[in-house]
Amino acid sequence: MPSEGIGRELDGGLRLRLIAPDDEPRLMALHERLSQHTAYQRFFGILKRLPINWAHFLANVDYDTRLALVIERDGDGGVELVAVGRYEPTRDAGVAEVAFVVQDGWQGKGLGRLLLRELLTAATARGIRRFRAYVLTDNIRMLRLLSRYTHVLERKTDSGVTELLFEQQG
């Protein structure tokens, strides 16, 4: 795993770092703590549990074309994830798809904005300049976040999903 200064302490006992393969069980535990509404907004469907093969895929990235950042804290049962932001390659060269999830009790505290900024900075350092996000049209918080902190190039809505193509702001 590359160490490029991404990991650091945050306020409130939180830490930001790159995801690691041993985060698989922590991803599954995070999913179990999400409300149905938050899980639906992230995965566009109801999953009672995050499948093990999904957790494996999501926790194992190459740190170049696929990268994920986590925000963690020390919980009663050990380290627990409270937020994840990631990018994945798309069919379009130089465009990565981004996705985020923040545990319900931590929403509205700036973690999504922090993950967005850090993720886009990491992607840009790797030559990725454009990003795509698919957001449920009723996910006003995420749409507002992307509209406020990125430069939106295209916005299309179809069947309750808004697709955004954007760049990092200046």
Q: Mean pLDDT lowest for which of 35-39, 127-131, 146-150?
A: 35-39
pTM check: above 0.85: yes
Mean pLDDT of the chain: 89
* Residue ranges per structural domain of the chain: 8-168
- Domain covering 8-168, topology: Aminopeptidase (3.40.630)
CB 104 within 8 A of CB 35: yes
In this structure, the number of other CB atoms found within 10 A of the CB of residue 83 comes to: 23
